[in-house]
Amino acid sequence: MAMAALRREGRRFATPLLSPNPANALRSSLVPYEEPVLSGVRCISTQVVRNRMKSVKNIQKITKAMKMVAASKLRAIQTRAENSRGLWQPFTALLGDTPSVDVKKNVIITISSDKGLCGGINSTSVKISRALHKLNSGPEKENKYVVLGEKAKAQLVRDSKKDIELIMTELQKNPLNYTQVSVIADDILKNVEFDALRIVYNKFQSVVSFLPTVSTILSPEVVEREAESGGKLGELDLYEVEGAETKGEVLQNLAEFQFSCVMFNAVLENATSEQGARMSAMDSSSRNAGDMLDRLTLTYNRTRQASITTELIEIISGASALEG
């Protein structure tokens, strides 16, 4: 009598329960279609979730650490960038801001970072550089790139390799200083012929906003030509020039000094933007990892709860079957 009841109960429960224990000879004999794959499925699912939780937690730790590093670097470099902002203003006041100047040999200096994981600042400066190239292209015009930083190099080499004149990387291996930047500026001046240099960089505004900026530097000959023809630089002729024998010589020195000063500020601003962008990118990714971890924890707990409930049902039903 009891055996018959057990058999009845067992048949009713065994099918949906997916017995974890194939050693239960009674039940396995009762359910002939049970597949061996399904055995222990419950354990595996929690194991998978647990593994994913562990990896997400590790990723979150890494992104949090990177955010901290970026934040501390940002604080150091931000003050330096802000202090260097006084440096280019006198030049702009004297020589004007002439992005629309029409000259033959344009050199576009793209400043980017060496490392990735810093949002879209590198692709922005590459996009602006390409657009400047397009804007200034035409018959009898020459456009060349000078690339600073690994990331812009990777993007520009793909489609405009023949236009790249000079590539410099590992700018930020040592902390940036004026001497280092003026050596770079000197290298560029020696190796590249230009009528106008256009420096493309990201100006730091706040941790979340960067302004793509173009600074224009004219060669001494173009400055003289523009000053004589009037227009924006017309006022330059009113200035008395003291120093070397000729005006051209002073203008040459002036243009070189302007270039190094503007470059210094541009490199610092871009480095600051890089750290800021990295900080906000890492912040959002650690937040994403946290969200994901929450979801996974929920799934994990739900699965665990379900398995406990199932086990309880098994025990209770078994017991009640024995009683009945």
Binding residues vs another protein (CB under 8 A): 80, 83-94, 96-100, 127-128, 131, 134-135, 177-178, 200, 203, 211-216, 238-244, 250, 253-254, 257, 261-262, 264
73: nearest Cα among 181, 207, 170: 207
Alpha-carbon distance of 172 to 87, in angstroms, equals 20
Say if strands 105-111 and 209-218 run parallel, antiparallel, or are unpaired: unpaired
Here the tokens at position 3 are: 């055996």
Q: What is the largest CA-CA distance in the chain?
A: 123
Instruction: Answer positive or negative: Cα dihedral of 223, 228, 233, 239.
Output: positive
- Closer CB to another protein, residue 56 or residue 121? 121
- Closer CB to another protein, residue 241 or residue 322? 241
CB of 118 vs another protein, minimal distance in Å: 19
- Closer CB to another protein, residue 112 or residue 216? 216
Residue given tokens 């937690």 in the structure block: 57
- Closer CB to another protein, residue 222 or residue 296? 222
CB of 259 vs another protein, minimal distance in Å: 13
CB of 241 vs another protein, minimal distance in Å: 5
Amino acid found at 83: N
Alpha-carbon distance of 292 to 272, in angstroms, equals 30
CB of 209 vs another protein, minimal distance in Å: 12
CB of 172 vs another protein, minimal distance in Å: 17
- Closer CB to another protein, residue 41 or residue 135? 135
- Closer CB to another protein, residue 261 or residue 296? 261
16: nearest Cα among 301, 305, 313, 300: 313
282: nearest Cα among 63, 56, 59, 65: 63
CB atoms within 10 A of CB 47: 11
CB of 115 vs another protein, minimal distance in Å: 23
Residue 128, CB half-sphere, CA atoms under 13 Å: how many? Answer: 20
